[in-house]
Structure 1
Amino acid sequence: MIRKSKGSIGLFAVVAFVAALLFPMPVSAEGESYIIATDVTYAPFEFQNEEDEYVGIDIDILEAIAEDQGFEYELRPMNFSAGLQALETNQVDGMIAGMSITPEREEAFDFSEPYFDAGPVVAVQEDNEEIQSYADLEGKTVAVKVGTVGAELAEEINQDYPIEINQFEDSATMYEDVLAGHSDAAIEDYPVMAYAIQQGLALRLSTEPESGSSYGFAVNKEQNPELLEMFNAGLVNIMEDGTYDEIVERYLGESPEAAANNGFFGLLERNFGRLMTGLVRTLILTLVSFAIALLAGTIIGLFSATPSKALNIIADIYVTILRGIPLIVLAFFMYFTVPQLLGIQITAFMAGVITLSLNTTAYVAEQVRGGIAAVEKGQLEAARSLGLPYGVSMRKVVIPQAIKIMIPSLINQFVITLKDTSILSVIGIVELTQTGRIIIARSYQSSSMWIIVGLIYLIIITLLTKLSNLIERRLVKNG
């Protein structure tokens, strides 16, 4: 049981307890237990099914190999480019995510023997008869997924037939860009694109697949060689006993199971539980981060309001730096760079809490400073003239008035922090927005799902706005 100590130590202990209790993240254990990164928005190789289970060709192959070789693993879902960074910084032990073996990647990672051969293919809207070859793409806009062989092919096409390239973090968003008419075509690995079309996506293949692209399981360079050996040995075994062929047939056979499509309300009904789980994660991330930021921001805000020049400078430096760093950059820095520099491991949840707290603290500090500055100077002077010390004058006279001024802006900052949690999906936190992406990867109903996610945010934010107005009216009435 965690006992709450004084000050920030106790507060961070509570944060750690909440993180461990509600969002346990995989941690390498002694023996044969590993953390494996994957991209769960890449059907049919990895995605989350209706029962919230991670499935797909890659996931089933990994499970079969682990059972064959007798090791345990935990999956850490994140987008593809973040997974590569997690592997490179040893935040995970391995990665399986439809990852093509390329000379460039072999310089940074060690790969298993190829377990699947695929090649990129161009797809366009199903009624688009204009694009039939690479030459027809000249002057057009092409959507690709960041860091993939498809993105490399687009760059090669661009050298011969100038095109505009739009880059996306996941396949579902890339497809939607084509369907919406923002891009004329998309380039994706053939089995992934073919599976999406089989599921009812209104696209057609306009070129033949390229050859020579093979998928491999990856570990960091010269790290976890025993895991790589077990993967290779297990791969041989499941290929020999027919398990491998059964897995591939399950997802790429002639009649794969189509995604259910019952319209807006059917989509909401089928996924309501997991959306609420994502919302709870979003709210807890927000509450924990904002509580820390409120404490730290008040202290730094008071630094700004004191007569001490040294404290003023400290507050100004903090606010300037933290407000100047984009939140996504800060998230990557906390989750990938800091552990590498300090030689420590940090969970995605804790990295997210720290990121949001550091960012929100800077804004809360400015709101505290502004609230104090809005109180008439005569209030402090009158208190001091009565013989009250500076600290007592601030605590008893100025700050109570400043709080009434700050309440609306603080609740507004809480709303902003809540919306900022969506950025943390880049480091593998499955909050509300990432939950929506995972559902889209399975259902290919992006328009309906983003409406649902938007409505959930709208309802929560409207309730918070009403709360802000209620508190403000009561403060004015009692003031």
Structure 2
Amino acid sequence: MKNLAKLTALTLTAALALTACGSTADSAAPAESTADTAATEETGGDLLSQIQANGTITVAMEGTWAPWTYHDESDNLVGYDVEVATKIAEKLGVEPKFVEGEWDGLLAGLDAGRYDIMVNGVDITPERAEKYDFSTPYAYNRTAVITQKDNDSIKALEDLNGKTTANTISSTYAELAEQYGATVTGVDDLNQTFELLLSGRIDATLNAEVTYYDYMKEHPDANAKIAVLTADANEVAIPMRKGDETATLRAAIDTAIEEMRADGTLKELSEKYFGTDISTNE
């Protein structure tokens, strides 16, 4: 911080952030702090310069989606995306400030300016690309249709027609299920999804292939299988608000991701959390 006034204002702003485990994003955007106002005046609205002037980048994530973002046995926020975001922040010369919330509120918080970026296994879709600027992809994963082991009624995506599934409503997986004619039940997190599936209250759920493997590693006796696996991988990237103010931030994040891909950091983190390299589409 350049002066005490900025430090005090930033501390007040940080106190408003919801950082507790399982907390949800506040629906009302906080008032712009003195520090943020001063940074905006000094940097002409350039978000990267504001972030570097403040010394922190605010990162939105769920905190309930292992192994992407979750809490360990000591209640520490950990996961692939936590480490990716932390290393990006280091390359930008700032500290990450993680704010947790339910999926449906994260993108809304990004829209409102409560978060600088969202790092939460976000797939690039045409609809999202119209609304947000995305970084270069930092991960790739295929979509799995997960059912109970004895359910042989779903062997292709087309078989979802007339079936029931569960996912967070605005997720790519919910959209894909609805596209193929399924009725989607909205849930808050992955644990609720599997509770519905294993209790027989839904026919299937869609999620990342690697998320299924991670769940089965922790629950080896779970009555679940992959019934369908898509051939093409989804591109996972970091969304941020559209506009000239984010151009330099996006470029800096792209550079950080490519450096991490080149030096093997993304590969190492992928293998640590997923048991395989998801940093390339090869």
Question: Could you tell me the TM-score, scaled by structure 2's length?
Answer: 0.75
Q: How does 1:429-448 map to 2 (within 5 A)?
A: none
Task: Name the residue aligned to 1:330.
Answer: none
**Which residue, 120, 126, 145 being the options, matches 1:103?**
126
Deviation digits for residues 112-159 of structure 1, max 9, x if unmatched? 00111123210011333343333443432122222122112112211x
Q: Name the structure where helix makes up a greater proportion of residues.
A: 1
2:176 is matched with which residue? 153
Distance 2:203 2:238 in 1: 32
1:171 deviates by 1.9
Q: Give the Cα separation in 2 of the matches to 1:243 and 1:212.
A: 21
Gaps of at least 5 residues in structure 1 are: 1-18, 255-479
Q: CA deviation at 1:167?
A: 2.1
String of CA shifts for 1:273-308, please: whole Å, max 9, x gaps.
Answer: xxxxxxxxxxxxxxxxxxxxxxxxxxxxxxxxxxxx
Select the structure of larger CA radius of gyration. 1
- Quick one: which of 130, 136, 141 aligns to 2:164? 141
Q: Distance in 2 between matches of 1:183 and 1:165?
A: 9
From 150, 172, 188, the equivalent of 2:207 is 188
Give the number of aligned pairs. Answer: 232
The answer (yes or no) to whether the contact 1:190–1:209 under 8 Å persists in 2 is: no
Q: CA deviation at 1:59?
A: 1.1
Q: Could you tell me which residue of structure 2 aligns to residue 169 of structure 1?
A: 188
The Cα shift of 1:198 comes to: 2.1
CA RMSD of the aligned region, Å? Answer: 2.4
Structure 1 partner of 2:101: 78
- Deviations, residues 79-102 of structure 1 (Å, cap 9, x unaligned): 111000000111111111111111
- CA 1:86 to 1:187, structure 2 compared with 1: closer, same or farther past 3 Å? same
Counterpart in 1 of 2:71? 48
Give distance in 2, aligned partners of 1:49 and 1:64: 19
Distance 1:225 1:108 in 2: 15
Contact 2:139 2:235 in 1 (8 A): yes
Tell me how far 1:164 sits from its aligned partner.
2.5
Corresponding residue of 2:17: 25
- Once the two structures are TM-superposed, the CA of residue 183 in structure 1 deviates from its matched residue by 0.3
| C-alpha distance in 2 between matches for 1:73 and 1:134 | 39
- Once the two structures are superposed, the pairs formed by residues 464-479 of structure 1 within 5 Å of their partners are none
**Cα distance in 1, alignment partners of residues 218 and 119 from structure 2:** 23
C-alpha distance in structure 1 between counterparts of 2:86 and 2:96, whole Å: 9
Residue pair 1:144, 1:154 contacting (<8 A) in 2 also: no
Q: Which runs of 5+ in 2 are unaligned?
A: 1-10, 19-32, 37-50, 277-282
Counterparts of 2:216 and 2:155 in 1: how far apart (Å)?
17
TM-aligned CA deviation for residue 212 of structure 1 = 4.0
1:205 aligns with 2:197: no
Cross-structure match for 1:118: 141
Report which structure shows greater RCO (CA 8 Å, sep ≥6). 2
- The question of 1:94 aligning with 2:117 is answered yes
How many percent identity over aligned positions? 26
The equivalences for 1:295-444 within 5 A come to none
The TM-score with structure 1 as length reference comes to 0.45
Amino acid at match of 2:242: K
Is the alpha carbon distance of 1:217 and 1:138 closer, same or farther for their aligned partners in structure 2, counting shifts above 3 Å?
A: closer
Partners of 1:166 and 1:81 lie apart in 2 by 14
CA distance in 1, matches of 2:229, 2:83: 28
Amino acid at match of 1:211: D
